[in-house]
Amino acid sequence: MLQQIKEYSAQSRDGALTEQEIFRVIDQTLAQVTQAKRVLLVPPDITRCYSYAGKITAYCYRKLSSTAEVKIMPALGTHRMMTREEQISFIGEDIPESAYLYHNWRTDTVKLGTIPASYINEVSHGLCNVEVDVELNRSLTDGTYDLVLSIGQVVPHEVVGMANYSKNILVGLGGRNMINTSHMIGAICNLEKIMGNTDTPVRLLFDYAEEHFLAKVPLLYCLTVTTEENHQALVHGIFCGASRKPFEEASLLAQCRNITYLPKRVHKVVAYLEPEEFTSTWVGNKSVYRTRMIIEDGGELLVLAPGLLHFGENDEVDHLIRQYGYRGTPYVLKLREEGKFDNADMVAAHIIHSSSEGRFTITYATIPEKVSKEEIEGVGYEYMDYREAAARYDIHNLPDGYATMPDGEEIYVIKAPALGLWKTHEE
């Protein structure tokens, strides 16, 4: 039914859209679904704080709640539930806590079907030969809602190539098998070949699942393309609709706005993780994924992480990372063969993504009272006290990009690693 609605979008390749332009696209889209009386909004969590999805979610809640019952279920995947403070910071204090629902990826799903191993073998070019269960939060399939509005940001991604669209639903509100297998397929198929591309093995997996198993879910997408400036999200495009076309258009714009090409690799990258956004290496290691291709052999990635509290977003993942650490692909695959990651392939994939494979040094600068030197070194990274690092690399007074320190040290600064991908023309 929703596939027949008209799709609306607005974009600016040179500057940013105004709030009026953004909300006009949303108004045009929602005007076609006024019959909806039970609505579920599916935004990301605060780890996508520069997606503009929080403001869009708040706008849609206010606009729709006068005529419909509206709930908000953040697409958490394996992330922890947002605190009330994070809900207020990201979406707004006027949205009541009672409006929020929590997706538990372990218990809240129902199996819709299975993607055959033969298809996975085909799209992975023979690298993977496993079937994948398609599991989804049961409330999306049992008639609870007559409109599910998925809100999120299209940006280069280490598992799927370009984030969002059906990933927001199939992983964000999905179950263990889909999360495990999609992450491992992405790892085996090489994240450096995947990131920034639209049609990847994992995206084709999601396309199959949407075509065959999500037809009865009343899904509508609202996708943004953004950058960050002075701690504010700049929206360069908004794309709304029910087909794949809005995602494809958003991906083209994101490839222009969110991929930075350098003429050659640099020796040292200094990346900053916003403390409100990044409290774990599980999400903070986007600083590793997105920058790895611009760091030269023997170089260093220094991650300034004042908000780091743990490694995983839940106890199970945190324990596995602490136990095995970030020590490279051969080590992880050997452990996996020994059954150490039984039913936890998502962790094995994350550990593979988060290693430099010995090519460059990864140093985490944390507040030692939160995460100690011993803990950081225990997972295979180098350590620096955040206070010492911040005194030397004052991120708020350094420019994005190339910088030279007073003693002549040359660095490359990235203040929002989750918002982009950095590559070189040398590849």
pLDDT digits (tens, 9 = 90+) for 75-131: 998 888 999 999 999 999 999 999 999 999 999 999 999 999 999 999 999 999 999
Task: Answer yes or no: are the C-beta atoms of 31 and 60 closer than 8 Å.
Answer: no
Cα→Cα distances 204→199, 200, 244, 306, 378, Å: 6, 6, 12, 37, 37
Nearby residues of 381 by Cβ (< 8 Å), 6 or more positions away = 326, 362, 363, 364
Confidence at residue 421, expressed as pLDDT on a 0 to 100 scale = 97
The C-alpha angle 312, 317, 318, rounded to 5 degrees, equals: 50
CB 249 within 8 A of CB 9: yes
Residue 230: which pLDDT band, with cuts at 50, 70 and 90? confident
**244-268 per-position pLDDT tens digit:** 999 999 999 999 999 999 999 999 9
**Is the pLDDT score of 2 beyond 80?**
no
Determine which helix (DSSP H) or strand (DSSP E) holds 31, and give its type and residue range: none
d(CA 20, CA 368) in angstroms, rounded, equals: 44
| DSSP code string of 105-150 | TTTSEEEEEEE-HHHHHHHTTTS----EEEEEEGGGTTTS-SEEEE
Q: Which tokens sit at 8?
A: 């609306």
Q: How many CB atoms lie within 10 A of CB 238?
A: 27
DSSP bridge partners of 114: 133
| Residues 314-331, mean pLDDT to the nearest whole number | 95
Q: pLDDT by residue (tens digit) across 279-302?
A: 999 999 999 999 999 999 999 999
Q: In this structure, what token pair is assigned to residue 107? A: 């218990």
152 has pLDDT over 60: yes
pTM for the predicted model, two decimal places = 0.93
The answer to whether residues 426 and 266 touch, using CB atoms and an 8 Å cutoff, is no
pLDDT of residue 265: 97
Q: Is pLDDT at 3 greater than 80 in this prediction?
A: no
SS3 state of residue 399: coil
Please provide the average confidence, as pLDDT, over all residues in the chain. Answer: 95
3-state secondary structure of 233: strand
**CA-angle at 321, arms to 73 and 389, nearest 5°:** 90
pLDDT of residue 231: 83
pLDDT score recorded for residue 80: 86
3-state SS of 300-313 is: EEEEECCCCCECCC
Share of residues in the chain with pLDDT > 70 (%): 99
pLDDT digits (tens, 9 = 90+) for 9-56: 999 978 899 999 999 999 999 999 999 999 999 999 988 889 999 999
User: How is 242-301 classified by DSSP, letter by letter?
Assistant: SSSHHHHHHHHHHHHHSEEEESS-EEEEEEE--TTT--BHHHHTHHHHTTGGGEEEEEEE
Walk me through the domains of the chain, giving residue ranges and CATH numbers.
2-257 (3.40.50.11440), 260-424 (3.90.226.30)
In sign, the C-alpha dihedral spanning 255, 260, 261, 267 is negative
Residue 385 has pLDDT above 90, yes or no: yes
